[in-house]
Homo-oligomer: A and B are copies of this chain.
Amino acid sequence: MAEFDLIERYFTFEYDFSDDSKDTSANSPSAKSSKKPRVVKGIGDDCAIFEIPNKYQLVISTDTLVDGVHFFSNLQPELIAHKALAANVSDLAAMGARPLAFTLSISLPDVSMEWLQGFSAGIKSASEAFKIPLVGGDTTQGPLNINITAYGTVKKDRLLERNKAQFGDDIWVTGNLGEAAAALDLHQKTLVNKEALSASEQALWDALTKPEPPLKFARKLTKFSSCGLDISDGLAADLGHILKKSRCGATLNVESLPVSDALETVAGTEQARQYALNGGDDYQLCFTAPQSNRDKINKLAARQGVKISRIGSITDNGLKVLLHGKPFKSERRSWQHFNNDN
């Protein structure tokens, strides 16, 4: 099958984002308004085309998922597709951006129609869930490799950055942490033992394979915070990026980390805390904000139905990890893409 046929058959979607028209006019390739960012042209020419009115900025994020590194190739293609798009949409959430569109470049070792159908269905349902249309890309033959570039928009200077933390800020996170990392370890165990999953284990598995970045909350949050990122490498490591870029320190209170009942059931209290602190793949938000915004932030989260936890505060220097006020030994296992340090 030629590349063009493949794109036409599996990657050309009709979208219907009409259930929330106020929020999605910017996303529809057919939107007529020139006041909102819009996709002028999608799949079919040499390039996709966007218009970004003056009061907006376009933000761009790109992520690659490689077979055996970021997912297991025996995972259902629907889940691989969801995860690939969620990881990129999470970077948009990390900036407080509204999704505009994405491009998909995929290398495939061979063409299994069944796999492609599943992957295509997963891309379509995830793009509908995140309200972000596919507008172009590239298919090539080669070892399985999935690259997504996601485009979003922010109103000028209404965004979350890494270098904006201030002394005294609260540190917050959304959702629960550590579930995905625990599921990964679990997967290796269950692969060996071939046991069925318990309800708690299934919950962890869902967190790993179906992450839901808090997009809308992040966008509204830019009213009360200008510093944040998404947790993909583990809370401690990712918070480290904020501290480095903002040239400050932090105190983390481990007892305040959001740990789900499922994680505590499967891993026990002590190990659950390590997962929450150092596990990766959470795709939740970590952000900082002045103490004076606490009430507004709590109200926003309640309105959006998003769980948030206040887990520490920004200090002038160094990262202190405390459990009930006493030093906590963190077992860092953060993801490093290249470990052969030569």
| Residue ranges of A at the interface with B (Cβ–Cβ < 8 Å) | 1-3, 6, 34, 40, 44-54, 57-70, 91-92, 94-95, 97, 103, 105, 107-108, 110-111, 113, 135-143, 145, 147, 149, 151-152, 154, 156, 159, 161-163, 229-230, 245, 336-338, 340-342
A149–B337 touching, CB < 8 Å:
no
The reply to whether A47 and B141 contact each other, CB–CB distance below 8 Å, is no
- Judge whether B91 and A47 touch: CB under 8 Å: yes
Q: Are A45 and B6 in contact (CB under 8 A)?
A: no
Task: Indicate if the CB atoms of B67 and A111 lie closer than 8 Å.
Answer: no
Check B95 against A46 for contact (C-beta < 8 Å). Answer: yes
CA distance A65 to B147 in the complex (A): 12
Residues of B within 8 Å of A91, CB to CB, are: 46-47
Can you identify 7 A-B contacts, CB atoms within 8 angstroms? Answer: A1-B338, A45-B161, A47-B61, A48-B59, A62-B105, A143-B145, A149-B149
**Structural contact, A45 and B95, CB atoms closer than 8 A:** yes
Instruction: Choose from B46, B63, B142, B338 the contact partner of A141 (Cβ within 8 Å).
Output: B338
Kindly report how many copies of this chain are found in the complex they form together. Answer: 2
Q: Pick the contact of A105: B67, B95, B147, B230 (CB < 8 A).
A: B147
The answer to whether A3 touches B338 (Cβ under 8 A) is yes
- B64 & A138 in contact (Cβ 8 Å cutoff): yes
* Interchain CB contact under 8 A, A149 and B62: yes
CB contacts (< 8 Å) of A137 on chain B: these are 62
Query: What is the CA–CA distance of A163 and B44 in the complex, to the nearest angstrom?
Result: 10
Q: Which residue from chain B places its CB closest to the CB of A336 in the assembled complex?
A: B2
Q: Do B107 and A3 touch (CB < 8 A)?
A: no
Measured CA separation A163–B45 after assembly (Å) = 9
Quick one: which of B34, B57, B63, B105 contacts A50, CB cutoff 8 A? B57
Which of B69, B103, B229 touches A60 (beta carbons < 8 Å)? Answer: B103
Question: Is B57 in contact with A54, judged by CB distance below 8 angstroms?
Answer: no
Q: Across chains A and B, which 8 residue pairs bring their CB atoms closest together, nearest first?
A: A66-B142, A143-B143, A47-B59, A52-B52, A46-B94, A3-B337, A47-B61, A147-B147
